[in-house]
Amino acid sequence: MTGDTPFPWRRALVTGGAGFLGSHLCERLLDSGVQVDCADNLVCGRRRNVCHLEDRPGFRFVECDVCAADCAAQLPGPYDLVLHFAGPASPADCLRMPLESLDAGSLGTRNALGIAERDGARFLLASACAAYGGPQAHPRHEGSRGHVNPVRPRSVYDESKRFGEALVTAHAGTRGTDAGIVRPSHTYGPRMRAHDGSAVPTFIAQALAGEPVTVTGDGSRTRSLCYVDDTVDGILRVAASRSARLVTIGGSAEITVADLARLVVALTGSRSPIAFVDRPVDDPGRRRPHATLARELLGWSPQIPWEEGLKQTIAYFSARPWAPVPTEEDPAPQS
């Protein structure tokens, strides 16, 4: 699906729409002729991510908290698509805001489902590959049953996604809501924040600043990356399919974290050394999704090679001198 592909929706609500992935969804929907309400409380999202959309017909930014009891009144719709992407997603945000992470998966999901039910809209929950827990199988497919530890330091994100999935399943089963679940896996691209704790923006920021690129552990753990344009395409295919099945969207090839760091250093032309540091507790060793269902059901597969995606991401950070340096002075543009 490209930007000129028609969708079966007239008006969409994207919760968390000023975040990294949410903002790209807003843009793709708008490019395809869909009116978009972007709802975000700006705790993690940034107004600058959607400021280029605010003068376009059919786009509306609503600063509100989807976890609040009155959020439905602030989002009167009517909508025929609700994409629930609100909530802290990066490792740094989840450690900083554990209760907000849990609220987004529980109260936020419940409220967003209520809006979809009110309007008879298609609902899609953004879950995550973290919902698998420590996988028993590799690569991980939708039927995988992983090992779960709900009290580890970073468990709030995993548990919020698992609860959200259970809530969506129960809502669809008892109330007939047209609801689906998508698990994006290791999406990267422009509009990520340099200090969010994820590997790609961290490596790029360090390399552009000429600092050591810090790899945790011995660098042998792996990730399977998927460029944001491919992820957005997959998500909207799941939404348009009206499938109730859980679908994973992610890349199928693996790269070690050490090799990813070296690739970023090479693509930035940096002289930064690779520095190995202690590995976080419970950090998974291998992460590779099994996206066979997405291919078979939706005809989806990633199209953008890592090198091309990384070049576009590096260009984004290079053009923004504020991006590599984490500060508390990161205000949202005023409307």
Active site amino acids: 157
Read off the tokens for 45. 């999202």
In this structure, the number of other CB atoms found within 10 A of the CB of residue 166 comes to: 12
Letter for the amino acid at 1? M
Going across the sheet that includes 35-40, the strands are 59-63, 35-40, 11-15, 81-84, 122-126, 179-184, 247-249
Identify the DSSP state of 148: -
Amino acid at 117: E
- What is the 8-class DSSP label of residue 136? S
Q: What H or E segment, with its residue span, contains residue 315?
A: helix 306-318
The C-alpha angle 102, 108, 113, rounded to 5 degrees, equals 135
Class of residue 143 by CB neighbours under 10 A (exposed 0-12, middle 13-18, buried 19+)? exposed
**Length of the chain (residues):** 335
By C-alpha distance, which of 245, 142, 153 is closest to 185?
142
Tell me how far apart the alpha carbons of residues 114 and 100 are, in angstroms, rounded to a whole number.
19
Angle at which helices 199-208 and 306-318 cross, to 10°: 50
* CA-based nearest residue to 151, from 282, 253, 305: 282
The distance from CA 114 to its chain's CA centroid, rounded to whole angstroms, is 22
Please, are residues 289 and 139 in contact by the beta-carbon 8 Å criterion? yes
3-state secondary structure of 242: coil
